[in-house]
Amino acid sequence: GIVSTFAKMHFKCRATVVPYLNSTITRFLVPDDKVPWSVEWSSYLPVEYTDPSTNGKPWADSNDLSKMRFNELDGNVNRKSHNGDYLIDGNGRPLNPVGRTGLSGRGILGRWGPNHAADPIVSRIKDGRLQFVAIKRKDNGEWAIPGGMVDPGEEVSATLKREFGEEALGGKKSAEMDNIWRNGRRLYAGYVDDPRNTDNSWMETVVVNFHDYEGVMDDVQLEAGDDAASVRWVAADSNEPLYASHKSFIDLLCASITI
Ligand code: RP5
């Protein structure tokens, strides 16, 4: 099925046509057959990169990995993967569960190992077509589901509402949205093929669909905010490219809703 396919191979985090986000770094080229760590590749020389601007940030790990409890809940930082236990290499660094990315280090991500996010898909049927709310990301200009990082100790259900509010409702409170948040359906939990992933840091997410059966969203004013440059309804069956693995998530949505 869709899930097992896209969580077993990655493409966007191997791209060499564009430099790594906010840098001039280009990844070491990794062909498809060399992605799995189980395939020996003695001449593999990933580029080492940890964005210096992340150092000392409250949301970022230090570079002393010796005290981090990988594959566990480490204080209030969740270092467990949705995909089961991940490996630790000879230098004590977590290994990307899908495989090589051509870049080692933490990149621009905050955590060594999994970086947990949540993606709310707010959907409706309008004029006979399934639509969902999408935002345009400020970091790379791509259209995306308005997801975001789970704060340490935060419940995923809270992250979903908070991120949608910040990015798609301009940070404004909306009483109508309470009806939407009542019925969530989990579509996916696991690895994301995010362009920021490295050999040692990667994105994971929980995708939850909130389908508007009652036309509640007709009275909700969408407004871009925070990390979003714009917001709009997008037809789920349009073939618009989306950020990271988001197109696969929308495919799961399409497969689960009858029009
Ligand atoms: C993606 O990055 C996830 O699917 C989620 O949409 C997003 C979270 O990162 P930020 O939007 O906070 O940068 O991998």
pLDDT tens column, 46-103: 999 999 999 999 999 998 999 999 999 999 999 999 999 999 999 999 999 999 999 9
> Sign (positive/negative) of CA torsion 89, 95, 98, 100?
negative
Residue nearest to atom 13 of ligand 1 (CA): 148
Ligand 1: residues whose CB is within 6 Å?
Answer: 117, 119, 144-145, 147-149, 192, 194, 203, 205, 227, 244
Residue nearest to atom 11 of ligand 1 (CA): 148
- Ligand 1 centroid, distance to 147 Cα (angstroms): 5
Residue with the bigger pLDDT between 98 and 6: it is 98
Question: For the residues 204-225, what does the mean pLDDT come to?
Answer: 96
Nearest atom in ligand 1 to the alpha carbon of residue 119 is 6
Residue with the bigger pLDDT between 126 and 7: it is 126
Alpha helices in the chain (DSSP H): 2-6, 156-168, 177-181, 246-256
DSSP string, 143-208: EE---EEPPTT--HHHHHHHHHHHHHBTT---TTHHHHHT-EEEEEEEEE--TT--SSEEEEEEEE
Question: For the residues 205-228, what does the mean pLDDT come to?
Answer: 96
5: pLDDT confidence band, cut at 50, 70 and 90? low
What pLDDT sits at residue 3? 56
Do 132 and 233 touch, CB atoms closer than 8 A? yes
Strand-pairing partners, residue 201, are 113
Residue nearest to atom 9 of ligand 1 (CA): 148
115: pLDDT confidence band, cut at 50, 70 and 90? very high
Question: For the residues 125-150, what does the mean pLDDT come to?
Answer: 97
- Ligand 1 centroid, distance to 151 Cα (angstroms): 13
What pLDDT sits at residue 7? 72
Question: For the residues 7-11, what does the mean pLDDT come to?
Answer: 88
What pLDDT sits at residue 6? 63
Least Cα distance to 237 among 214, 218, 255, 210 occurs for: 255
